[in-house]
Amino acid sequence: MCYDHQRSFSSDELMSSRNIRSATENAAVVEDLRGRLAETEARLAQARAREAALSRQLEEMKRFASVMEILETYLKRRFHEQQEQVARLLSPVFHK
């Protein structure tokens, strides 16, 4: 076999080559992770903003429901008062 034409690499040269490739790959992985982290942080910010908007909307709906309950109670009371008033007004007519 002819080994004269081929150059043998020392272990230091092989390690150096691997380290350069590894550093390049690591840099690419780090850059990819940074991009993914930025995307995740952006989605998290959007989710927090949506949560805040939904919380405000929920509070508005609770206030609305509370007002509606107050109105319902008031209207029921007025209805019963008017029923009693009509009954009192018609009562003498039926007793005659």
Name the region of 7 (left: φ>0; alpha: ψ -120 to 50; beta: rest). Answer: beta
Written as tens digits, the pLDDT of the chain (96 aa) is: 455 555 555 666 555 666 677 888 889 999 999 999 999 999 999 999 999 999 999 999 999 999 999 999 999 999 999 999 999 988 876 665
In Å, how far are 27, 76, 79 from 73, measured between CA atoms? 68, 5, 10
b/e string for 49-85 if b means 16 or more Cβ within 10 A?
eeeeeeeeeeeeeeeeeeeeeeeeeeeeeeeeeeeee
pLDDT at residue number 23: 80
